[in-house]
Amino acid sequence: MSQKNTQFGHASNRCHMCKQESLFLVIDLGMHPHSDFFPTEAQLYNAEITFPLRLMSCGRCGLLQIDYFVDPEILYQTDYLYQSSTTATGRAHYATMAESIVRRFSIPPGSLVVDIGSNVGVLLAGFKEVGMRVLGVDPAQNIAEKSIAGGIDTIVDFFGSALAKAITVSHGKAQVITATNVFAHLHEIDDSVLGMKELLADEGVIVIEAPHALPLIENVEYDTIYHQHISYLSVKPMRSYFESMGLELFDVEKNLIHGGSLRFFVGHPGRHELSSTVDSLINEEELAGLYSVEKLAQFADRVRGQKEALLSLVLSLKKQGKSIVALSAPAKGNTLLNYCHLDASFLNYATEKNPLKVGRYTPGVHLPIYPDEKIIEDVPDFCLLLAWNFADEIMKNMTTYREKGGRFIIPIPYPRIYGETNS
């Protein structure tokens, strides 16, 4: 029995990409609530649903993935609060990305660019600026409305082959199809990829950006595991998957956003020159042990060790009477907070720049969320940096707090206090 249906989702031991029943357990992180559902005060009186969160690996194609799928309607259409434009680093990244794709593939002005999971439209704004016709697709109504208000034409729906056909009729074929930090979220991955194939012009390019599974394993970035992320991408399974779908992965670029990401370039077979980077990255992944049972078992041990170390650090600070708050409340922070059970007895509150989250509570441990400015007023002794991948930018913005003696705890790749000698 490969699939077990439950009330709010289903469990499966069948690989998301190669479709073999060949998954084995890497680490069980326990039961977790939906990491992007931030309850309001009234909702705290409701029962909070939690789901199993287990990282699995495919013994056949090597894809890391979870084996419990929360229904996408629950994950994306109820009160979704993630906005991709909230950090300056993120905005600059997307502007550069649009420009570099247009330049590299000499995309003529007026060509259609479709962004899947377009969120508030940051990436498409970059394409629009360089003269492209742009169209976003995103299932979250509240987020898509912002994008439309910002002048980016957006379809509120899940992307798949039926929608791709409709877009082809209404807008024509796309020269560029982008999917940033959404490909690993796709539930109906085959239908989505068939849709991309349908919509893509002959010489067009699909650009997929997603966190690389290698730094996840090497730097113990287990907090990037949550239910929206169904798979944790690496080059080897992606190449065989696209081949099985009648497309070709012809190049991969590495970049540093989100703790280490890959940019995959996919086209119709034979339409683009094959880069040797594809083979060399697969080689690098294999040498690093990404597909090795032993190496993955070591990763699981390191995750458990990291939890112990973070709890010991927090406990020792609490024993000294220190106050600690969580600075920023990203989805991934909730995996960490819930896995380590860091509730209000350890952390006074969390803060956020995203106004949609302020006044609500973090899922699971229910820390109240205040605006970032509260930290400047209160000057807690320590801020736990949950968005550690934006540590430099965040700490730069917190100069006043640092000048008043505030310090930072960085949890990943190993828990440590930053700023004891730097402040």
Quick check: 15 binds Zn ion (CB under 5 A)? yes
Out of 10, 54, 60, 374, the only residue in the binding site for Zn ion (CB under 5 A) is 60
Using the contact rule CB under 5 A, the part of the chain among 38-46, 63-71, 277-285, 319-327 near Zn ion is 63-71
Q: How far is the CB of 66 from Zn ion (least distance, A)?
A: 13
User: CA of 423: how far to CAs of 77, 148, 316, 398, 413, in Å?
Assistant: 43, 43, 21, 11, 21
Smallest separation, CB 16 to Zn ion (Å): 7
Distance CA 145, CA 407 (A): 38
| The CA-based dihedral angle spanning residues 91, 93, 98, 104, taken in that order and rounded to the nearest 10 degrees | 170
- The answer to whether residue 166 forms part of the interface with Zn ion (CB under 5 A) is no
Q: Which of 8, 13, 18, 54 binds Zn ion (CB under 5 A)?
A: 18
Our CB check for Zn ion shows the closer of 22 and 142 to be: 22
126 phi/psi in degrees, rounded to 5: -65, -40
* 14 counts as binding Zn ion under rule CB under 5 A: no
Q: Which residues contact 179 (CB under 8 A, 6 or more apart)?
A: 115, 116, 117, 196, 206, 207, 208, 209
Provide the minimum distance between the beta carbon of 212 and Zn ion in the complex, in angstroms, as a whole number. Answer: 17
Nearer to Zn ion, 63 or 225 (CB): 63
Query: Least separation, in Å, of the C-beta of 60 and Zn ion?
Result: 5
* Beta-strand runs (E) in 47-126: 51-58, 64-66, 68-70, 112-116
Is 350:326 a contact under the CB 8 Å cutoff? Answer: yes
Query: Is residue 379 at the binding interface for Zn ion, with CB under 5 A as the rule?
Result: no
Nearest to 219 by CA among 1, 25, 410: 410
Closer residue to Zn ion in complex, CB, 61/350: 61
Min dist CB 61 to Zn ion, Å, is 3
Cα distance between residue 43 and residue 40, in whole Å: 5
Among positions 56, 61, 176, 213, the unique one binding Zn ion when judged by CB under 5 A? 61
Q: Please, what is the angle between helix 277-287 and helix 235-244, to 10°?
A: 130
58 binds Zn ion (CB under 5 A): yes
Query: With contact defined as beta carbons under 8 Å apart, do 95 and 65 qualify?
Result: no
Q: How many residues bind Zn ion (CB under 5 A)?
A: 6
Give dist(CA 95, CA 117) in Å, integer. 16
Residue 125, interface with Zn ion (CB under 5 A)? no
* Residue 316 buriedness (CB in 10 A; 0-12 / 13-18 / 19+): exposed
- Nearest CB to Zn ion, comparing residues 291 and 299: 291
Comparison of 36 and 67: residue with beta carbon closer to Zn ion: 67
- Interactions with Zn ion, residue window 345-374 (CB under 5 A): none
Are the C-beta atoms of 126 and 98 separated by less than 8 Å? yes
Nearer of residues 58 and 282 to Zn ion, judged by Cβ: 58
Of 99 and 286, the one with the shorter C-beta distance to Zn ion is: 286
Nearest distance from C-beta of residue 164 to Zn ion, angstroms: 25
Residues that bind Zn ion (CB under 5 A): 15, 18, 58, 60-61, 63
